[in-house]
Structure 1
Amino acid sequence: MTPLQPTGPDYLKTPMRRHAAMDHDFYAWRDSLSARRLCWPDGIRLGVWLQIAVEWFPLNIGDKPFLPIGAPSRPFPDSQTYTQRDYGNRVGIFRMMDALKARGLSGSAFLNARVAQRYPILMREILAEKWEVVAAGLDAGAIHHEGLSEEEERGMIAEALAIFGDFGVKPDVWHSPSWSQSTRTPRLLKEAGFTAMADWANDEAPYRFDTSAGTIVSLPTAIELSDREMLGLRKQALDDVEASFMAAARRLAREAEDSGHGRLLTLNLSPWIMGQPYRIAAFERILDAIFSVDGTRAVSAPEIIAATDDL
């Protein structure tokens, strides 16, 4: 009998897979828990990076090579899902802004470029609040994957930068929609002038990520501590989500105290989820509880990079 051969599109192939080594040569493995990693100023033990996902989900979003996280999934036009996501940009984001501002805190907008085009008032509010802008691709459906040509992917990055440039913004940090990348993405980001990317969820501190165009910094990004993962996908109770955030903060603060070097807590939150009127009080409680932990402060990407010893 002839063995069955794998079939399917090229983007499902894994040419870098091999035995006795990692499936890539982007960085060396390290023991990231024990090594000295972060040195915060002013006696800070725990930095908290608040990643606020500000996204536009096209109504005719595609499903290649996969359906983006949180995308409309019913037959076109899925107005129910589309309008719920739209709610985040019309209502939910402003509740979250108010909660942060009331506490003297600032977030990092993981911002789709096309949000700036479609919601210019929102873009101006984000800039007025002095939030850090992380370029989160073109829109929630603009997935980076191996099936794109290099020119297509380079064009997507360039288009996003051009849109931000129209608002006088030049982001230094990139996040691909749905944490997606091709094997070319880090190099193309470096060539486009980005100093860091937040797509790989394998660490709690930055590390050097090598490309043929030079080194780019890989910044931690939250998948486990994401409201989309916990509330949207796992359907966890809101009380359990609050408890998880606080358990993470207390553990990391204790590790910082015991080890003598800093820790970083990364939270990824979506206005269409956490900005709902029955959840916003939980968001406020989470903020109050986390920032009541001794030695805790909100941090931005440049502060995280500056505090990293081994870049």
Structure 2
Amino acid sequence: MTRPLLPRQTRYDYHPLPGRKDYSWPGGKRLAFVVTTNIECFAFGAGNGHDPAKTGEPQTHRNYSWRDYGNRIGVWRFFELFDELRLPAAHNCNSLLYEYAPQVMDEIRRRGDEIVAHGRTNAENHRGLWEADEERIIQDVVGMFARHEGRRPTGWMGSGAYETSWTPDLLKEAGFRYLMDWPMDDQPVWMRTRSGPILSVPYPIELNDSQVITHRRQDASEFCDQIVQQFDEMVEQCERHPLVMNVSIHPNIFGQPFRLRLLRQALRHCLENAQDKVWRARPGEIAEFCYSLPPGVIPGSEMLQDNV
């Protein structure tokens, strides 16, 4: 038997888009439109964290306070914007926010928004962890959310979207129903774990303000134009295939006033056009809808068992 030339992942199989089964979102909609914020807390002078000037800079009071702006100011502007646009939202939240900025979590609870578990803090990621250590962190995160909310999150987005080789296995075994760490598709896809399948819900590495503004040094108008262009193209393509458009924003980046105005315009464009095709959704709602579909519809569903 010939060995493959390249190392391969075994979490999902190759399913080209044209050969997939067709389906529609609730109400016959064809494009699930999602806005996901990233609400994070960081260690002061230690650990990981982006710098507004360049990558690889040491952790200082300056870059700490730049990020902290998001929790003190930016996220509250996001809440007002979502109210203004009547837009449902999901929030990737570090569990240590309960200790650092509990008022933020109180407001998310009051609004009825979805909480997606986002690790303990973005000052750490899971790369290089032993399995038992990563399992303890995941359980600590689940316990923190359950104690404060009376229920645990169903979705996971890793700190920095980093994983170990066994992260999906641990997430499935911890009771998570979906994850958003794998940006390989515009549709939900079932992924293998050693304890049964878990759903991957699309989450962008491209339509992500941290990537665009912090890493690629593009400006706010370019990011907001990308939102509009992505929406207009997907509205056309979703006539042939049901799709998910997820927009990722960080309150320390687009919570800045000069960027917020452009974001408002871009989101308003998405919410005022082609609404006969658009489902304003949260990732957890997308996941639950996919769980309700019969095997054979969602890519990878041949691995489903009766007890999924």
Output the TM-score relative to the length of structure 1.
0.86
8 Å CA contact 2:209, 2:254 repeated in 1: yes
Tell me what 1:222 maps to: 204
2:178 aligned with 1:196:
yes
Measure how far apart 1:73 and its partner are.
4.7
The worse-fitting range, judged by mean Cα deviation, of 192-201 and 233-242 is 233-242
SS at match of 1:113: coil
Q: Which structure 1 residue ranges, 5 or more long, are not aligned?
A: 1-17
8 A contact 2:117–2:153 mirrored in 1 = yes
CA distance in 2, matches of 1:75, 1:26: 35
Contact 1:117 1:163 (8 Å CA) reproduced = no
Higher helix share: 2
Give the whole-Å Cα distance in 2 for the aligned partners of 1:31 and 1:97: 38
1:91-113 Cα offsets, whole Å, 9 max, x none, are 10010110111121121000010
Structure 1 segment 23-38 matched on structure 2, within 5 A: 23-32=8-17, 34-36=19-21, 38=23
Structure 2 unaligned residues grouped into runs of 5+? 291-296, 302-308
SS in structure 1 of the partner of residue 38 of structure 2: strand
1:68–1:143 CA contact under 8 A, matched in 2: no
- Counterparts in 2 of 1:68 and 1:24: CA distance versus 1, 3 Å: farther
Partner of 1:265: 245
Within-5 A mapping of 1:53-64: 53-62=38-47
- Provide the C-alpha distance between the structure 1 equivalents of 2:191 and 2:7, rounded to a whole number of angstroms: 14
Letter paired with 1:272 = N
Number of aligned residue pairs: 286
> Match for residue 83 of structure 2?
101
Give the residue type in structure 2 aligned to 1:136. Answer: H
Q: Give 1:1-311 correspondences, 5 Å limit.
A: 19-20=4-5, 23-32=8-17, 34-36=19-21, 38-62=23-47, 73-76=56-59, 78-145=60-127, 147-168=128-149, 169-257=151-239, 259=240, 261-294=241-274, 295-308=277-290, 309-310=297-298, 311=301
Q: TM-score, normalised by structure 2?
A: 0.87
Distance 1:123 1:38, change over 3 A: farther
- The residue type equivalent to 2:94 in the other structure is N
Check 1:34–1:101 CA distance in 2 against 1; reply closer, same or farther (3 A cut).
Answer: farther
Q: Which 4+ residue blocks in structure 1 deviate beyond 6 angstroms? A: none
Shift, 1:116, TM fit: 2.0
Quick one: percent identity of the two aligned structures? Answer: 26
Query: 1:232/1:187 Cα in 2 relative to 1: closer, same or farther (>3 Å)?
Result: same
Residue type of the alignment partner of 1:188: L
RMSD: 1.9
| 1:235-271 Cα deviation digits (max 9, x unpaired) | 21322222111111011110112x1x42210111000
> What do the CA deviations read for 1:288-307 (whole angstroms, capped 9, x no partner)?
01112212232112321244
